[in-house]
Amino acid sequence: MSINIKKELYRGIVTENPLFRIALGMCPSLATSTSATNALGMGLSVIAVLTCSNTVISLLRRQIPDKVRIPAFIVIIATFVTMVDLLIAAFVPTLYDALGIFIPLIVVNCIILGRAEAYAAKNEVLPSTVDGVVMGVGFALALTLVGSLREFFSAGTLFGFAIAPFKYQFILMILAPGAFITLGLVLAFINYMQNKEA
Partner 1 sequence: MMKRGSSDLKLLVVLAVFSAVSGLLLALVNEVTKERIAMVKVKKQEKALMEVVSKFDTVEVETLLANPSDPVELFICRASDGKVGGVAIKLSTRQLSKDEIIKLGLPETVKQDQAYDAPIKMLVGFSAEGKISGVSFLEHKETPGLGSNIEKQEFKSNYAGAAIDGKKWSVKKDGGDIEQLTAATISSRAVTGAVVKAIELFKIKSKALGLK
Q: Summarize as ranges the residues that interact with partner 1 (CB under 8 A).
A: 31-32, 34-35, 38, 41-42, 63-65, 67-68, 71-72, 75-76, 78-79, 82-83, 86-87, 89-91, 93, 96, 101-102, 169, 171, 174-175
CA distances to 7, 59, 177, 191 from 188, in Å: 25, 38, 16, 5
CB of 136 to partner 1, least distance (A): 19
CB of residue 41 to partner 1, shortest distance in Å: 8
Q: Measured from the CB of residue 138, what is the shortest distance to partner 1 in angstroms?
A: 21
Kind plus residue range of the DSSP H or E element containing 157 = strand 157-158
Minimum CB distance to partner 1 smaller for 136 or for 178: 178
Q: Which residue, 89 or 125, is less far from partner 1 as judged by CB?
A: 89
Smallest distance from partner 1 to CB 60, Å? 9
Whole-angstrom Cα distance, residue 13 to residue 11?
6
CA–centroid distance for 182 within its chain: 17
The span from the CA of 148 to the CA of 158, in Å, is 6
CA geometry: angle 103, 107, 108, nearest 5 deg: 115
Residue type, position 68, single letter: V
Q: Which is nearer to partner 1, 177 or 184 (CB)?
A: 177
Which of 112/174 has CB closer to partner 1? Answer: 174
